[in-house]
Amino acid sequence: MRLCYILCFIWPHVFGTRFVRIDSRNSGGPLKHFWRSTGFCPSKPHAKAYKYDTGSDMNQNLAYIGALPFTGIQQVRIHWLLDLVQVTKQHPLQYDFHWLDQLIDKLYKNGLKPGFELMGSLSNFFTDFENKTQVVFWRDLVKATAERYIKKYGIDYVRRWNFETWNEPDCHDFDAVNMTVKGFLNYYDASSEGLRAADKRLIFGGPGDGCFYKKHHKGHKKYAIGLLDHVVHGTNLFTGNRETRIDFISWHLKGDGMANRILKLEKRLSEEIYTKYPSLRSKPFYNDEGDPLVGWSKPRLWRADVTYAALVVKVIALHQQRKFLKHINFTLLSNDNAFLSYYPHQFTQRTLLARFQMNNTKPPHVQFVHKPVYSAMMLLAYLGDRKLYVSITKHHVHNISTHDFGGIGSIHYPVASAVSDSFQVCLLLYNATDPGPGELEERNIKQDGESVEVKIFIDPPVSQSRDLYMIIFKINNSYGNPFMLWKKMGKPSYPTKEQFHAMRQQEGPNVIDKSAVKPGIITVKLQSFVAPALLLVHICSKAPHPPGQVSAVQVYKVTFGQVLVVWSDKFIGTKCILRYEVELSKSDTESQYRRINQQDSVVNSFMFVPSGNNSTLVTGYYRVRAVDYWNRPGQYSKPFYYPS
């Protein structure tokens, strides 16, 4: 007999209901989390990139990105990395890696890895890659760089990096380097052989191109096609063999404010490549700047609210649904949104976080607020590792391919040795309107207020507990949208402590229900699901044991009397987390620890801003533990003393 659990949210009789159905018995193939990447470019001049890449603003930014739960983002793809290296002596060549070391170490400590673009002139030391001496020097530099980080962090970490060619070569942004097509191919061979000399397991690809569809470039892709022709038909400069490797093919295909345009460009380009170079068909395909709109700094109101968040999810879902991608080894989709926003566009640029440059304090400092798109990356991280078929109907007509409304379903089966893990079913729904290249507010967009009925049939395997718990998260422009509150405040340039606290209370996603459920049919009804919106339903079977131990607690000073606490969920062993409890003690005495984060959250960070202006209020030992859906606490982390 099927049991039915019904969760109703003011359910009137509404014509035009969308019916969503998933069944835990109807699983498909693997669900690859191909979207866990972001990126940024330092501001000019690139010779001073260290100021942007390693400053306190970026340190906080990377801490927040690394604090997304369940490795919501794992790669940060960064331009001009080798401009962080300085030539200190020319005979023989010696390099200073100080600034690059700082950045790589910050990524590592935050559980991130670099997308390592081999680009930079080292303060104009490299000027011409048709000069064979410089080409050899470049090979040796790449080898030395790779060997340095293999020695420091181990090959298991570095072999997961995506080493990539100079960004968008057909856009001709080479700074002071005279880079002809021939020079670019020399540079490619030098980079490839330098990495191979360090370790044959290192990954290298390209061309990372992105200008062929821009009108002012008139379809040129001489460098990109030259590279593909070289790896298929050409001769390696160093080996003399026709065996120049390319481990992945990367391109930058953006949407001009329309989700489906990204997929159309991917389809067009991949067909062109595979027709001309059929031997490349099996290579992983990366769209590693697959943003909905080109131009990170363009202020758009829709980038501030849930429109952008829902659009990112829609693009990912469309990639799951499109049949043509079965003929592409599609491996990575990256949103280039790890930039630092600036006044007066704190929320409206293409970023994960809103940055407030607090120049009214001595010394000045920065504060960050989560944007809805940050919360979207968190919701995506809940998805499991196998697909569940999602059926969507309307008026009894099958409607799975609707443009604005859709979803991703998933299932997760634990391995026997993972005692804190359990059977899970997840459904992520989106309602997302394409904003187009301009401002959404300038258009008359029809708001779709149709109701939604979700039915999930869940039947845990025999080895798993039938004690189930469900949590439902929702984000729309009323829930989880700090930008709306900031506007109501009058858009203060320097928000007060109280205003920052209020905005952080609005950081999503919002939990709209949490309750025990039973196997069988679980029904969730929503009165309306108006675009833009996201909804996540996460159902867990009770694991044999509570969560594992939280690890890697760090505390960053933000300003006088304010700190950012971050930690890692690497060893907790489950996604069924109800909350994290952050505690502080002056003496690391058990009886003196007190919880300091009163609002439940599943993000691996907490901004601690005690009342008062005494810096000693943030001094002491910090520890964190995870609590699962059944209120079972895991082991506390090792304490971290601040200031250390």
Residues tagged active-site? 168
Nearest alpha-carbon partner for 159 in 213, 204, 105, 118? 204
- Angle CA 209–213–218, to nearest 5: 105
For 300, phi then psi, to 5°, come to: -135, 130
Residues linked to residue 511 through DSSP beta bridges, in sequence order: 473
Return the sign of the alpha-carbon dihedral for residues 44, 47, 53, 55.
negative
Q: How many residues does the chain have?
A: 644
Task: List the end-to-end C-alpha distance of the chain, in Å, as a whole number.
Answer: 59
Q: Count CB neighbours of 353 within 10 A.
A: 23
Q: Report residue 521 as tokens.
A: 């049919």
Q: In the 8-state DSSP scheme, what is residue 338? A: B
Q: Report residue 538 as tokens.
A: 């996460």
Q: Strands 27-30, 386-388: parallel, antiparallel or unpaired by DSSP?
A: antiparallel
Q: Quote the radius of gyration of the chain (alpha carbons, Å).
A: 25
Helix (H) or strand (E) holding 376: helix 372-381
Q: Is the peptide bond before 292 cis (omega within 30 degrees of 0)?
A: no
Could you tell me which residues come within 8 angstroms of residue 30 by beta carbon, excluding any fewer than 6 positions away?
385, 386, 387
99, 50 contact by CB (below 8 A): yes
Q: Where are the beta strands (DSSP E) in 437-576?
A: 452-458, 468-476, 510-517, 520-526, 533-541, 551-559, 562-568
Q: Report residue 594 as tokens.
A: 């007190």
Q: Which residue has the tokens 């704190």?
A: 346
> What 3-state class would DSSP assign to 545?
coil
Nearest alpha-carbon partner for 150 in 142, 442, 445, 9? 142
Could you tell me which residues come within 8 angstroms of residue 108 by beta carbon, excluding any fewer than 6 positions away?
153, 157
Query: What is each CA distance from 391 to 19, 23, 317, 399, 459, in whole angstroms?
Result: 8, 9, 14, 8, 18
Helix (H) or strand (E) holding 184: helix 181-198
Please give the Cα distance from 481 to 624 (Å, whole number).
Answer: 27
Please give the Cα distance from 261 to 35 (Å, whole number).
Answer: 17
- What is the identity of the amino acid at 428? L
Reported as half-sphere exposure (CB side, CA atoms, 13 A), residue 198 has a value of 26
Q: Count CB neighbours of 508 within 10 A.
A: 25
> What 3-state class would DSSP assign to 258?
coil
Please give the Cα distance from 352 to 336 (Å, whole number).
Answer: 10
Helix (H) or strand (E) holding 223: helix 222-233
CA 213, chain centre distance (Å)? 25
Q: Report residue 557 as tokens.
A: 């000073």
Q: In the 8-state DSSP scheme, what is residue 195? A: H
